[in-house]
């Protein structure tokens, strides 16, 4: 295997993997500094993941046309600029705009790095092993992100954290310029900017509709507007795609059944994993009361599980085939998530059960992520590796955005339902209860008398949300795993 190429590509994936964890660990300080609402707090993650997911497919097609090395280096420079803008943000709107620009840059990193790895390893067995090691870059970013972010947050604050991310991206661009071989344009997949915009609009409207349920009943104007926008974008996209049969977006339609199954599983996996990572950081700081450094260290078991199995997962796929490895991975994620939710209901704070459950989630993620990556890579038409890997990466990112939106909505609903019972048990007055209901359950600190009941309500809501997201993965696995190849890959 070409370890120099793997190292250079893993740096970009490290940045993409660390981004969600860095934002999560900084969210309480961000919310306090910029006065973020419940919905705006959720959109700190969604604003990155939505454009990243919507742009990933086109980014892969651009790499096929323009060369993956060139596009990767351009993406790193854009990521540098966007991170600087995040550090300089002075309003919630400015921050969300900078995060969206980060998402566009992040859309470039994943498909281009995987395409370079695939092209550098033409033999199927070596390719599966290389994908397993490449996946470790994602796990390393997610593992190091919380700890690195918590140290930077304690030393230089959230603005310094984003500035450090910019410096790392710039260093990665310089290293990649010296290390990656030049890749020539392979295919002339047409770029479809109109279809791309309609796809992003449809997903954005759907996520906005979900987050509007943070308030029950949801504001009629917001809900009706987002549903109308979603319907208009979906109809327009359906009418537009036949006009561009060779565009990058239209290539979603004729993909093989195994590829579609792998993409669906990849998206469902990140509904759980991204939302789990994001809200675990908030739980550890706001409900469990840990400082950012301790919270960052407590977040490492899950991504460390990815690192643990990444080198062997590729070999297991090459020997056994994707289907049994994917089924094992999905089962581990669901079991780990259910155990974590059960631990939350015990109301004892972070403990061995939660640490073990988080590690099992990470192990399952590493197995399932490697399996679906191998399926997509081996079924890609020659010359369109970027488009195929972009399709999978897009499903992962959009699944992560949907997971954050879904989990935050279920969490807020569960919090508001559970808080009156917890408040009554603690003997709180109606005025104190109203104060707790007015505070965001995810980010804002509350008075000392409210700490115990709000923590209990938060844990109850988070447990419900994790169960809902896990059910999405379980149902998707049952419906699609049979279509994955059982042979060696």
Which of 205, 228, 246 is the C-terminal boundary of a domain? 246
Asked if 396 and 54 touch (Cβ cutoff 8 Å), the reply is no
Q: Residue 66 has what pLDDT?
A: 77
| Residues 309 and 328 placed together within one structural domain of the fold | yes
> Could you say which residues of the chain have pLDDT below 70?
1-2, 38, 57, 60, 121-128, 132, 135-144, 183-192, 195-196, 212-223, 226, 229-230, 233-234, 237-255, 347-348, 380-390, 419, 422-452, 487-489
Give the residue numbers spanning the domain of 235.
Answer: 192-246
What's the sign of the alpha-carbon dihedral 141, 147, 150, 155? negative
| Residues 37 and 147 placed together within one structural domain of the fold | yes
Asked if 223 and 209 touch (Cβ cutoff 8 Å), the reply is yes
Q: What is the rounded distance in angstroms from the CA atom of residue 469 to the CA atom of residue 477?
A: 13
429 located within any domain = no
Q: Residue 347 has what pLDDT?
A: 65
| Residues 174 and 113 placed together within one structural domain of the fold | yes
SS3 247: strand
185 located within any domain = no
38 located within any domain = yes
Q: What is the rounded distance in angstroms from the CA atom of residue 395 to the CA atom of residue 311?
A: 23
For residues 412-435, one letter each, b for 16 or more C-beta atoms within 10 angstroms of the residue's C-beta and e for the rest, the string is: bbbbbebbbebbeebebeeebbeb
| Residues 154 and 11 placed together within one structural domain of the fold | yes
452 located within any domain = no
Distances (CA, A) of 465 to 28, 210, 276, 432: 20, 13, 9, 25
Asked if 45 and 109 touch (Cβ cutoff 8 Å), the reply is no
Exposure of 359 in the CB half-sphere (CA atoms within 13 A)? 11
Asked if 249 and 211 touch (Cβ cutoff 8 Å), the reply is no
> How many of the other CB atoms lie within 10 Å of CB of 139?
26
Do you find a cis peptide bond into 58, omega within 30 degrees of 0? no
The pTM (predicted TM-score) of the whole model is: 0.73
Q: What is the rounded distance in angstroms from the CA atom of residue 52 to the CA atom of residue 108?
A: 8
Which of 246, 270, 287 is the C-terminal boundary of a domain? 246
Q: What is the pLDDT of residues 341-354, one digit of tens each?
A: 898 888 667 888 88
| Residues 215 and 343 placed together within one structural domain of the fold | no
Q: What is the rounded distance in angstroms from the CA atom of residue 245 to the CA atom of residue 399?
A: 25
| Residues 141 and 256 placed together within one structural domain of the fold | yes
Asked if 349 and 292 touch (Cβ cutoff 8 Å), the reply is no
| Residues 465 and 380 placed together within one structural domain of the fold | yes
Burial of 312 (C-beta count, 10 Å sphere; 0-12/13-18/19+): middle
Q: What is the rounded distance in angstroms from the CA atom of residue 64 to the CA atom of residue 157?
A: 39
| Residues 412 and 463 placed together within one structural domain of the fold | yes
| Residues 126 and 201 placed together within one structural domain of the fold | no
Asked if 489 and 318 touch (Cβ cutoff 8 Å), the reply is yes
> What's the CATH number where 308 sits?
1.20.1250.20
Q: What is the rounded distance in angstroms from the CA atom of residue 293 to the CA atom of residue 216?
A: 35
Asked if 217 and 41 touch (Cβ cutoff 8 Å), the reply is no
Distances (CA, A) of 144 to 170, 283, 347: 18, 19, 28
Distances (CA, A) of 2 to 177, 212, 255, 372: 16, 48, 29, 22
431 located within any domain = no
Name 127's Cβ contacts closer than 8 Å, sequence gap at least 6. 117, 118, 121, 374, 377, 378
Q: What is the pLDDT of residues 288-313, one digit of tens each?
A: 778 877 887 888 888 788 878 877 88
State the residue for tokens 């660990």.
Answer: 25
Q: Residue 462 has what pLDDT?
A: 84
What is the number of domains present in the chain? 2
Q: Residue 241 has what pLDDT?
A: 60
State the residue for tokens 């959720």.
Answer: 42
| Residues 378 and 476 placed together within one structural domain of the fold | yes
């Amino acid at each position: 295997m070409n370890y120099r190429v793997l190292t250079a590509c893993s740096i970009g994936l490290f940045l993409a993997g660390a981004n969600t964890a860095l934002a999560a660990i900084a969210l309480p300080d961000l919310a306090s500094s910029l006065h973020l609402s419940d919905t705006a707090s959720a959109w700190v993650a969604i604003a990155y993941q939505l454009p990243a997911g919507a742009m990933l497919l086109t980014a892969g097609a651009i790499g096929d046309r323009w060369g993956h090395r060139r596009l990767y280096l351009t993406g790193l420079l854009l990521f540098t600029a966007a991170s600087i803008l995040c550090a300089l943000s002075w309003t919630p709107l400015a921050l969300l705009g900078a995060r969206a620009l980060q998402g566009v840059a992040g859309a470039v990193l994943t498909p281009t790095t995987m395409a370079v790895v695939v092209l550098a390893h033409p033999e199927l067995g070596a390719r599966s092993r290389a994908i397993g090691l490449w996946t470790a870059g994602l796990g390393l970013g997610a593992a190091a992100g919380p700890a690195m972010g918590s140290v930077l947050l304690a030393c230089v604050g959230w603005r310094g954290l984003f500035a450090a991310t910019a410096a790392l991206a710039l260093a990665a661009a310089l290293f990649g310029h010296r290390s990656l071989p030049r890749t020539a344009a392979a295919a002339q997949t047409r770029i479809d900017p109109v279809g791309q915009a309609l796809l992003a609009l449809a997903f954005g409207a759907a996520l906005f509709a979900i987050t509007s349920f943070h308030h029950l009943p949801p504001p009629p104007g917001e809900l009706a507007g987002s549903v109308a926008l979603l319907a208009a974008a979906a109809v327009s996209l359906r009418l537009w795609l036949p006009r561009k049969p060779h565009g990058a977006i239209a290539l979603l339609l004729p993909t093989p059944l195994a590829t579609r199954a792998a993409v669906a599983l990849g998206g469902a996996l990140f509904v759980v994993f991204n939302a789990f990572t994001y809200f675990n950081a908030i739980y550890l700081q706001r409900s469990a009361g840990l400082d950012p450094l301790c919270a960052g260290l407590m977040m490492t078991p899950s991504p460390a599980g990815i690192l643990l199995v990444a080198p062997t997962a590729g070999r297991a796929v090459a020997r056994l085939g994707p289907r049994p490895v994917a089924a094992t991975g999905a089962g581990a994620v669901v079991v780990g998530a259910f155990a974590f939710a059960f631990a939350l209901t015990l109301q004892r704070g972070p403990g061995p059960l939660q640490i073990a459950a988080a590690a099992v989630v990470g192990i399952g993620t590493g197995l399932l992520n490697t399996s679906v990556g191998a399926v997509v890579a081996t079924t890609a038409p020659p010359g369109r590796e970027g488009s195929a890997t972009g399709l999978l990466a897009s499903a992962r990112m959009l699944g992560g955005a949907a997971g954050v939106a879904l989990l935050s909505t279920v969490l807020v609903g569960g919090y508001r339902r559970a808080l009156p019972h917890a408040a009554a048990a603690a003997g709180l007055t109606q005025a104190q209860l109203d104060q707790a209901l007015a505070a965001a359950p995810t980010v804002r600190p509350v008075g000392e008398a409210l700490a115990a009941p709000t923590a209990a309500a938060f844990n109850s809501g988070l447990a419900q949300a994790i169960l809902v997201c896990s059910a999405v993965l379980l149902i998707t696995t049952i419906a699609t795993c049979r279509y994955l190849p059982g042979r060696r890959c």
